[in-house]
Amino acid sequence: MSKSVAIVTGAAGDIGRAIARRLADDHDIVLLVDIDATAAEEAACELGAAERFAALKVDVTSEADTTNMAKVAAGLGVVKTLVNNAGAARAVSLHDTTPEIWRADNALNLEAAFLCFRAVENMLKASKGSLINIASVNGMAVFGHPAYSAAKAGLLHFTRLVAVEYGKFGIRANAVAPGTVRTQAWEVRAAANPNVFEEARRWYPLQRVVDPADVANAVGFLASPLASSITGVCLPVDCGLTAGQAELAHTFSQSDHY
């Protein structure tokens, strides 16, 4: 019997590491890939034994690297789950967005997901496995970072494209859309405004931001047989942000129940 492999991209980051930890519950091996080789190695070591957690340097925007990623994964077993988690945002407004930033954000947040999927699709067919794309609430409404957001909106549609075209092979494709998650991606903003998470909290119906483990649990569910008839969906993990805002409901209704 081949070993089951889960690939997590951007796995050296806080969300990626939490996903890798969660997927080890029902996969034999988790392959942590990241452009930062040292950080990926450290994350794999921190998570557990080398037979369970492998690390690989991959630039997910490079076709050569994603082809190599598939080769390395095939040497470990059969890919059952691919999580496209690597992502980043560069410019905060359209006024700040240069053509280079627009292209780079699309390459990392959208095109890379396509490259990684095509690289491992034969193994996903063999395992009747699943694809999980880490999108964002930014792909559902406007919260800043336009190039990143447009790419994440594209990622949601890419998820549906895979679900419809590859469903006949037993491959499922779903997305998770986190709201604010306290990770290293927030370092610069948290340094500029130490209250950034406190200020964000008031817009969330649950009055808190998201933990990396919340995202990981949603991924674990979507990758599992519990979700065997779920494909083509986007699961927001956003403490209620996209459901609505209590402050606005209060203004509109003038009811103190909000």
Q: What positions carry a catalytic annotation?
A: 148, 152
C-alpha to C-alpha distances, 173 to 33, 58, 166, 201, nearest whole angstrom: 20, 22, 9, 30
The C-alpha angle 122, 221, 130, rounded to 5 degrees, equals 10
Nearer to ligand NAD by Cβ, of 33 and 256: the residue is 33
**Residue 106 binds ligand NAD, judged by CB under 6 A:** no
Interface residue with ligand NAD among 45, 50, 88, 226 (CB under 6 A) is 88
Q: Which stretch binds ligand NAD (CB under 6 A): 20-28, 114-122, 176-184, 191-199?
A: 176-184
Residue 12 is a binding residue for ligand NAD (CB under 6 A): yes
State the residue for tokens 């950080």: 39
Shortest separation between residue 196's beta carbon and ligand NAD, angstroms:
11
Count of residues of this chain found to bind ligand NAD when the rule CB under 6 A is applied: 28
Among 145, 183, 220, 222, binds ligand NAD (CB under 6 A): 183
Query: For ligand NAD, which is the closer residue by CB, 6 or 86?
Result: 86
Q: Where are the beta strands (DSSP E) in the chain?
A: 4-9, 29-34, 53-57, 78-84, 130-134, 172-178, 234-237
13 lies in the site for ligand NAD, by CB under 6 A: yes
Residue 219 contacts residue 225 (beta carbons within 8 Å): no
Q: At what angle do helices 112-127 and 146-166 cross, to 10 degrees?
A: 20
What DSSP letter does each residue of 173-187 carry, written as one string? EEEEEE--B-SGGGH
Handedness of CA 59, 62, 67, 70 (dihedral sign): positive
What's the length of the chain?
Answer: 258
Instruction: Give the three-state DSSP class for 84.
Output: strand
Q: Give whichever of 3 and 46 is closer to ligand NAD, judged by the CB atom.
A: 46
Minimum distance of ligand NAD from residue 60's CB (angstroms): 4
Can you tell me which of 55, 56, 60, 69 binds ligand NAD, judged by CB under 6 A? 60
Binding site for ligand NAD (CB under 6 A): 9-10, 12-16, 34-36, 39, 58-61, 85-88, 108, 134, 136, 178, 180-181, 183-185
